[in-house]
Structure 1
Amino acid sequence: MTSSHTMQYIGLLLLAAILLQTIAVAVTFIYFSNVLTTMKETFSKSSVSCLMRANLRTIKGLDTGSTEGKDDPCWQVTQQLHFLIEKSMSNRYQKEISSAIKDQDAPPRPKIAAHVTGSYIPEADKDGRGPSNRKVLGQKIQSWESEKGLAFLQNVQLSDGELVVPQPGLYYIYSQTYFRHTLTEEEENEEEDEGAGEDTIRGRPMLQYVYKKVGSYPVPILLMKNARTTCWSRDAEYGLYSIYQAGLFQLGAGDRVFVTVSNVSTIDMDEKSSFFGAFLVS
């Protein structure tokens, strides 16, 4: 009996000890959980207050240069934030100023453009068929005006009816020719003899070509071509027609551009009717 009572007593002591230990662990866990929650809330509130500049009694009431203000954690956070913002803005302004200075130091881009207009050909020169070249189609127009009236040259040369560009780039080239087509006495007699002038003399096409010449190629290169067919009343003394064409082309330094037509003698070289030009795009 005595031994049985002793064993029961020891079992109760062990049970009580385990129960007390369990209660102690639970209380400790609850305590530290509350402490961590309180610390998180305090830290969160302090961070938000620093960023929102709310409830900053210490910072507002203290001199920014005082030792007490510098020891405040919120003051340190805001000062670091201000420092980062100032540094970022300073770097940005320095880049913008450097870019502006580079743009000012860069030499201005030269303006390259030309617009030449028709110049009336002496009657003695109009009697012939004009200059021709076996390497190109048609007859080259050489009598362009480059200074008077609407014509001008800006960093472009005009030589032998050809525009010479000074630097490589993408150029817009345009040309218009105004045809005043008439029948000579010989053609009128031929028309009366054949009786089919609509299909022969009056039906001849008018052509305009734009060429470029490069130093590395012996033959001029055709850039543009346009055509119209003459057809006017038998009772009319002449027919009036115009051909215009334009386009973007890559040219090199020293390249030459010129215009040819099917018959130079039929061109009305008024400055507002026949003209030719080019300008640098990029």
Structure 2
Amino acid sequence: MAVFVSPQCLGMIILGVVLIQTIAVSVSFMYFNQVLSTMKESFSRSSVSCLMNSNPPSGPEDTAAEGKKSDPCWQVTQQLHSHIEKAMADRLEKEMSKTIKNGLTAVLPVLGPAMRGVPLPKVAAHVTGVASSMENSASEGSRSSGSSKGYLGERIRSWEGQRGLSFLQNMELKGGELLVPRAGLYYIYAQTYFRLPSTGETEADGKGDVGVVRMEEGAQLVQYVYKKMSSYTVPILLMKSSRSVCWPRGQEPGLFSLHQAGTAFLQPADRLFITVSNASTMDGRASYFGAFLVG
């Protein structure tokens, strides 16, 4: 005898089956999700415990090194150590690159134009002294102290602008003066080097009244940086550096240097020059000055 099932009953049966399957899938998902969360939490606690209880590698003398490689805690710490070393190496490399770049920028004024890869300022000059600087300055000092011309000290006229470390970038060197080609803010620097001759006496010697007086008086080393304008007859003092030294005793000469730097706003056709005291003792081969446009 055939059993007739109405469409309503068949629909209810299908709906019940789908509902049971949905509940089963939901329960299974919740169960596996709880298991995964428990495993994750357990792994995290285990990793932290490994980091807190583990000791750093003791080197090739550790007899249990081979056995540690199979230990999960050892693997976790090794991965962390590798990550830290890599991060520190990358940062060190960046810092070294930055330091080298800053170092090249700092010595930019004394680099020649032949140094490729290091851009020079659009307007710049670095001139170095020559051996004849002392002779020229001494002869000029014997003629005039410079005060009658509106400046102090003795002018240094002998500078080298083409050879060695010296260069001229859109600037001219005439008669020991740097000619400014365009208006702007310039960074100006100078160094003069002095070699004071020895008196030929030691501290225990008392021979020679002249030498004793000379040592007692000492020497005043002064360096001036002047600007000369076409619209003003008297040069303008931009910078001054000085120091008091004693005449050296014994057989070795006394070596001293003066260095100064600063910024100044210059106009076209302005000229820069250097004067010093005791020019006869200046060593031109170790002296230099220069300027470059910064803005």
TM-score in terms of structure 1 length: 0.54
How many residue pairs align between the two structures?
Answer: 165
Q: Hey, what does 1:117 align to over in structure 2?
A: 128
CA distance in 1, matches of 2:134, 2:171: 29
- Gapped runs of 5+ residues in structure 1? 1-109, 186-190
Q: Does 1:277 align with 2:260?
A: no
Q: Hey, what does 1:238 align to over in structure 2?
A: 253
Identical aligned residues as a percent: 52
Q: Hey, what does 1:41 align to over in structure 2?
A: none
| Contact 2:214–2:247 under 8 Å retained in 1 | no
Query: CA distance change for structure 1 residues 240 and 172 in 2, over 3 Å: closer, same or farther?
Result: same
Q: Say which SS state the counterpart of residue 208 (structure 2) adopts.
A: helix
- Gapped runs of 5+ residues in structure 2? 1-120, 201-206
CA distance in 1, matches of 2:124, 2:277: 27
CA distance in 1, matches of 2:248, 2:284: 24
Q: How does 1:40-79 map to 2 (within 5 A)?
A: none
Q: How does 1:184-203 map to 2 (within 5 A)?
A: 192-194=208-210, 195-200=212-217, 203=218
1:176 Cα offset (Å):
0.2
Query: What code does the residue aligned with 2:208 have?
Result: E
CA distance in 2, matches of 1:126, 1:169: 31
CA distance in 2, matches of 1:192, 1:160: 41
1:197 Cα offset (Å):
3.0
Q: Hey, what does 2:232 align to over in structure 1?
A: 217
Query: CA distance change for structure 1 residues 268 and 156 in 2, over 3 Å: closer, same or farther?
Result: same
| Contact 2:185–2:263 under 8 Å retained in 1 | yes
Query: What code does the residue aligned with 2:132 have?
Result: I
Query: What code does the residue aligned with 1:225 have?
Result: K
Q: How does 1:133-144 map to 2 (within 5 A)?
A: 133=146, 134=148, 135-144=150-159
- 2:176 aligned residue (136, 150, 161): 161
Larger Rg: 1
CA distance in 2, matches of 1:240, 1:262: 15
Query: CA distance change for structure 1 residues 127 and 214 in 2, over 3 Å: closer, same or farther?
Result: closer
| Contact 2:133–2:158 under 8 Å retained in 1 | no
TM-score in terms of structure 2 length: 0.51
Query: What code does the residue aligned with 2:151 have?
Result: V
Query: CA distance change for structure 1 residues 111 and 216 in 2, over 3 Å: closer, same or farther?
Result: same
**For each residue in 1:150-194, what CA deviation from the matched residue of structure 2 results, as whole angstroms up to 9, or x when unmatched?**
010011011110000101100000000000011589xxxxx9225
**For each residue in 1:43-88, what CA deviation from the matched residue of structure 2 results, as whole angstroms up to 9, or x when unmatched?**
xxxxxxxxxxxxxxxxxxxxxxxxxxxxxxxxxxxxxxxxxxxxxx
1:124 Cα offset (Å):
6.1
| Contact 2:198–2:249 under 8 Å retained in 1 | no
1:199 Cα offset (Å):
2.3
Q: Does 1:248 align with 2:263?
A: yes
**For each residue in 1:80-109, what CA deviation from the matched residue of structure 2 results, as whole angstroms up to 9, or x when unmatched?**
xxxxxxxxxxxxxxxxxxxxxxxxxxxxxx
Query: CA distance change for structure 1 residues 215 and 167 in 2, over 3 Å: closer, same or farther?
Result: same
| Contact 1:172–1:247 under 8 Å retained in 2 | yes
